[in-house]
Amino acid sequence: MEIKRLESIIEAILFTMGDSVEVEVIAAAIEHDVETTKKIIHNMMDRYDAEERGIKIIELENSFQMCTKQDMYEYLIKVAKQPKKYVLTDVMLETLSIIAYKQPVTRLEIEKIRGVKSDHAVNKLIEYGLVCEVGRLDAPGRPLLFGTTEEFLRRFSVQSLDELPGIDPERMESFKEEAEDEAQLKLDI
């Protein structure tokens, strides 16, 4: 099959599926190996950028997805009139950070770290598609485990969790000291 035909097939797959598609699935569909498929898709990505198209292909771990370029959003908003707008409060961002760095994590573990109930924040993050249930802990009561989604990766413009910024050890030590001081204050009362 000629390259233009393969690109057309890949474009149709990504457009139709909407969500990300694993590269192995695309490779099987076009009857080529994974490396060749990746090269074709990366060439398409470069061409879309060079031609200043309104769409782009993004890579998320071992998957690819077609989406709209960010600088086109204002025009989409004009058409959609009232786009859904999700607001991430400080509480939700804090909860999301805990889930992103500790996943898979239970609601109880989140609440231990935060020191307060987190039901509302976790439920909102699930509603926004940033967090999902990833299983159950093999422990009494079999509590739900939570992790981040591909939507989280897209929204925060990272290809994988490995790209999340590391935690500064000095700052972590300072947080631990603050927490210990706070715990001691509670014990003294």
Give the mean pLDDT of 58-76: 90
Please write the tens of the pLDDT for every residue from 137-170: 888 889 999 999 999 998 888 888 888 887 777 7
Average pLDDT, the chain: 88
Give the mean pLDDT of 89-109: 92
Distance separating alpha carbons of residues 93 and 145, to the nearest angstrom: 18
CB 116 within 8 A of CB 105: no
Which pLDDT score, from 0 to 100, does residue 74 have? 84
Task: Report whether pLDDT(189) > 70.
Answer: no
Q: What is the DSSP letter of 161?
A: G
Percent over 70 (pLDDT), the chain:
93
3-state helix, strand, coil in the chain (%, to 5): 60, 15, 30
Task: Report whether pLDDT(188) > 60.
Answer: yes
| Domain covering 3-71 assigned CATH 3.90.1330.10 in the classification | no
CB 106 within 8 A of CB 95: no
Return residue ranges of the chain for CATH 1.10.10.10.
3-71, 90-188
User: Tokens at residue 4, please?
Assistant: 């233009």
Q: What confidence tier does 1 reach under pLDDT thresholds 50, 70, 90?
A: low
Strand arrangement, sheet containing 131-136:
105-106, 144-148, 131-136
Task: Report whether pLDDT(187) > 80.
Answer: no
Please write the tens of the pLDDT for every residue from 16-34: 998 999 999 999 999 999 9
Percent over 90 (pLDDT), the chain:
57
Task: Report whether pLDDT(83) > 60.
Answer: no
- When mean pLDDT is compared across 35-39, 80-84, 102-106, 160-164, the lowest value belongs to 80-84
Q: What confidence tier does 15 reach under pLDDT thresholds 50, 70, 90?
A: very high
Which pLDDT score, from 0 to 100, does residue 121 have? 94
Fold of 90-188: Arc Repressor Mutant, subunit A (1.10.10)
The candidate with the shortest Cα–Cα distance to 96, out of 127, 131, 128, is 131
Q: What confidence tier does 79 reach under pLDDT thresholds 50, 70, 90?
A: confident
Return all residues near 45 (Cβ < 8 A) that are at least 6 apart: 56, 57, 59
